[in-house]
Structures are given as C-alpha cells and as structure tokens.
Structure 1
Amino acid sequence: MANKSLSKDRKAVINDIRKKQGRAERVRGAAIVGVCVVIALVIVGAAAWGPITGFFKDREYNEVALQDIGKSPKAAGCQKVTEMAADGNQNHIATGTQQTYTTAPPAFGPHWNEANVAPADMSRKFYTAADRPELEALVHNLEHGYTIVWYDETVSKDEQDLLRAIGKKFSGTSNFRYKFIAAPWTAADAKETAVAGDKKTEFPSGTHIALTHWTADPANPTEASTQKGVFQYCAGVSGEAIKDFMKKYPYTASPEAQAM
C-alpha cells in the first residue's frame, strides 16, 4: 500500500510540475507575441508617421498665400537676379549621355529628349535626392519654360517642407503658368560642373537656394541670340521671391513655351 501511495504522490508531483511548466510556457509565448505585436505597431507607426505629419504640414499652408510662405526676400538673403547668354536651344543629346554644365545649377544647355524621361512630367512639383531626375532631363524642363528652385544638401527638413508646400500651390498640369519644380542640388552635381573662366560651379557663399529659368523673346523664342539663363540665389526659402521671379520670367518667355 505504501508503494502505491508513493507512486500516486510522484504522479501528482509530476503532473503539478507539468502544469506549472505549461503555464510558464504559455506566459512566455504570450509575452513573445505581445513583444512582436508592439514591435509591429512601432514599425507600422513609424512608416505612417511621415505621411501623417506631412499631411498636416501640407494642410497648414492650404490657406497661406504663396508670398507668405517662408521669409521675405530680404530676410531670406536673396541676391539680385542675374542673367547670362544661353546656349543649347533644341540641342538634344542621347539619353544617358552626361553633359558638363558651366553653371551651378544649370539654367540652359544641351539636354535629353526621350519620352517618359525628359522633360520630367509636370505633375511632379517636388523631388528629393532619392528620386530626382538627372540634370540633363531637368534642363529640358527649363527649355519648356519651367522655373526650377534648387536646394542644396544643407537645407533643413523644415525648409524642404516649405518648398513642398510651395510646390502644391502650382498643382496640376493644365495651367502652364504652374510650370514649377523644386529639386535638390547635390555634391555630385557640383563635381559635374566645369570650371570655365568666371563660370559658377557652386552656389555663392552663404546661399543654399537657387531659382533658375531659361528665358527667350516671346515674339521670336527660337532666336538663340535673345535667350538667357536667369539665376537668383537665396540663403533660405522665400515664397515671395519665387512669386516675383516667376512673374518677371513667366513660362511664356522661354524657347518652347507651349510644350508640356
């Protein structure tokens, strides 16, 4: 009898141990699942945070006039507009061929001309360094009357948000007055420009924003002798400066104003 009683006690102890082990394993499993869920939520939340904050930042400027976004031209350190003789009208080079430009950034010159590559589509108003078209494609946009606002690698995220908000003021593809693009100017771009006399290969000291336009006589737009590259450099973002620049140099004053 004593042996049977001892056997029962052993079984009870073993069963109790197994139950406790089972509960512990379930608790550990639940904890692991919980941690995984938290990590997944953090990942999803992080991925969604950018678009969400971007949405609210965009809305912040919905009712703000273009000229009121950013600083005044004076406060933004905007320099006087300069012009220089342009070249490269309808000078199409093979897509993929790199062109050495003599200004930083370019406002004219030889460029690519291939469907779905150049010029960049009018529907896109703001680019980052990760997705910007090549210089040779964007120069074709300049030939078509676009104003391109370039920003260098020192420009803050907040200032990029300002440029993105300004771009939204030119949304759409039907109104050619909205030929506007904001795009980054990178260190790699600077290395690809050429030193030629007093030609600029970097933004002037203290400036980080550059407005460019390829202008021509509206009465005779293909006459090369009338064409000029137009530049304005600023230290910061100024919606007012951009508005004034685009009013003075509209899309109609360009070599190919009626082209998309």
Structure 2
Amino acid sequence: MAKPAKTDRKAVIEEMRKKQKSADRRRGTVIVTVCVLAALGIIAAAVVPILLDKREDSKLDGVALDKIGSAASSCEKITTKPADGNQQHVPVNTPVDYPDAPPAFGAHWNQQGVAPAAFSRKFYTADDRPPLEALVHNLEHGYTILWYDDTIADDPKALDDVEAIARKFSGSDDLRDKFIAAPWTSDDENGAKIPDGKHVAFTHWSAGGTGETDTTKQVGVFQYCSGVSGEALSTFMDEYPYTDSPEPAAM
C-alpha cells in the first residue's frame, strides 16, 4: 500500500489541531460559565438577605413608633428608686458595680471620646456596645436607654423592631432624640437580673422633675417588658423626657 502523501498527513494533523483547539475552547467556556455561576451564587447568598432586610426596614420606617412591636400591656408598670452618683466620675477603665439590671444611675466614666457614647449613634450590638460605665454617663445627660437581652438579639424579627425604633431617633440636632438601644448580656449581671420572662428594659435618670436641681430628689426610672414595645417606650419617654435629668443640656 502506498504511503499517504506528506501534504495529506499535514492536513490530518492540522485538522486534529483544530478539533483540539475547539474542544479546549468549549472546555474553557464551560469552566468560565461554571465559575461565573458559582460567583453569582455566592454574591446572591450575601446580597439577597441584605436586600430583604432593607425591604423589611423600609416597611418599619413607615410605621409610627407606638405601632412597632408589642402592645404596652407587655410591659410592667414603671418603677423608680432613689438615685445617686450625680457628677461622681471615676477614672476610665475603672469598673463600677451597679446594683440594678440594667442601671439607671450611678458613678460613671468621664472622658472625651470614651464617655458618654456619641449622640449620633442610636443602636448597638454586643460586638460594639460601649461599657456600662460610659452609658450611665449618657443617662446622666438625659438619655433613655432601651436594653435588650440575648433572647431579643437572637430573634431577627424582634431585633428588627429594636433597630426600627432606634431609627426613629436618628440625627444629632434635636436633643429630644437622646435615645440609645443597647444589649444587656449575662456578662453585665452582677447579682441583679432582669425579672424572669422580661427581655427588654427602659431606664432613665430623672432629676425628680424638669428643672429640678435638688439632687436628693433624683430617681432612677425602670420599666421591664416581655417584648419590644414602641408603644410603651413612647409613653415612657413622654413621662420622662431628656429635660428631666441631672444634665439635660449636655450631649
């Protein structure tokens, strides 16, 4: 049998090379497509929950404060007790033992940039909350603090309600927005505990009445709730506004 011509062999080899290149291109296209789809899946997994949260946020932003969360009936009656600690400053990083869970008054830190917490910040998690000693300084300045425990922190719907409430006080121009939502954790407990079945607390440091200067009339104000209640908070802050505090004009 005659051997195939060299030109025939070259043609066969060239055809084989073309087929190989075509197969490589297809394989490359498949790999790229798979990678793109995988990347899109990763992005979607990260972005979709954020978009859903934002959509839920937008819904709650259109809801009045007193309509967010549970009814006021989920809360106990407001209680008070004599307060001390006005102008009682201790060095920063000095721990203070507070007898109440959570505190409404007492000795506290006083240093620019460390205490009190910034007026512009309204919501904190356990990862970034200022120390209690700084937040008590905020209370002295007329803030109301909504404290939420781990049960609320672990409940996405309840935590959304807390964040929505905090956004109602966004801004740093109106002193009526002296509000902070902050976590109360088991690490904060020092003997005293939030009452059983209660997972939210409001605290305020009252001067004993707006404009009152007699420090013996100061009281700590407390209210405990089984759930997040914008209705109860609204009533609480109406009854104990920022003006009713030892240092209402301070930030």
Q: TM-score, normalised by structure 1?
A: 0.86
Residue 18 of structure 2 is aligned to residue 19 of structure 1: yes
Query: How far apart, in 1, do the equivalents of 2:185 and 2:12 lie?
Result: 72
Query: How far apart, in 1, do the equivalents of 2:126 and 2:48 lie?
Result: 20
Aligned counterpart in structure 1 of residue 77 of structure 2, from 60, 80, 83: 80
Letter in 1 for 2:212: N
Letter in 2 for 1:151: Y
> How many equivalent residue pairs?
248
Task: Summarize deviations over 1:96-129 as a string: whole Å, max 9, x none.
Answer: 2322222111111222222222111111211222
Query: How far apart, in 2, do the equivalents of 1:9 and 1:203 lie?
Result: 91
Letter in 2 for 1:172: G
Residue 245 of structure 1 is matched in structure 2 by: 236
- Percentage of pairs with the same residue: 54
Residue 198 of structure 1 is matched in structure 2 by: none
1:171/1:97 CA distance change after superposition, 3 Å: same
Residue 249 of structure 2 is matched in structure 1 by: 258
Aligned counterpart in structure 2 of residue 235 of structure 1, from 204, 226, 233: 226
1:111/1:47 CA distance change after superposition, 3 Å: farther
Aligned counterpart in structure 1 of residue 207 of structure 2, from 213, 216, 225: 216
3-state SS in 1 of match to 2:180: strand
Cα deviation for residue 73 of structure 1 reads 1.3
Residue 184 of structure 2 is matched in structure 1 by: 185
Letter in 2 for 1:125: K
Task: Summarize deviations over 1:61-90 as a string: whole Å, max 9, x none.
Answer: 33322111112111xx21111112222212
Task: Summarize deviations over 1:135-165 as a string: whole Å, max 9, x none.
Answer: 2211111111111001111111111111111
Query: How far apart, in 2, do the equivalents of 1:102 and 1:132 lie?
Result: 20
* Unaligned 5+ runs, structure 1: 196-200
Q: Is the 2:90–2:107 Cα contact (8 Å) retained in structure 1?
A: yes
* Unaligned 5+ runs, structure 2: none
3-state SS in 2 of match to 1:211: strand
Task: Summarize deviations over 1:147-185 as a string: whole Å, max 9, x none.
Answer: 100111111111111111112222222221111111111
Residue 159 of structure 1 is matched in structure 2 by: 158
Residue 182 of structure 2 is aligned to residue 205 of structure 1: no
Residue 149 of structure 1 is matched in structure 2 by: 146
3-state SS in 2 of match to 1:233: strand
1:18/1:100 CA distance change after superposition, 3 Å: farther
Residue 126 of structure 2 is matched in structure 1 by: 129
Moved more, 246-255 or 224-233: 224-233
Aligned counterpart in structure 1 of residue 107 of structure 2, from 97, 107, 110: 110
Moved more, 243-252 or 181-190: 181-190
Letter in 2 for 1:161: D
3-state SS in 1 of match to 2:164: helix
Query: How far apart, in 2, do the equivalents of 1:61 and 1:108 lie?
Result: 32
3-state SS in 2 of match to 1:229: strand
1:47/1:257 CA distance change after superposition, 3 Å: same
RMSD value, Cα: 2.1
Letter in 2 for 1:220: E
Query: How far apart, in 2, do the equivalents of 1:48 and 1:120 lie?
Result: 31
3-state SS in 1 of match to 2:76: coil
Q: TM-score, normalised by structure 2?
A: 0.89
Task: Summarize deviations over 1:11-38 as a string: whole Å, max 9, x none.
Answer: 5554444433333332232222223222
3-state SS in 2 of match to 1:137: helix
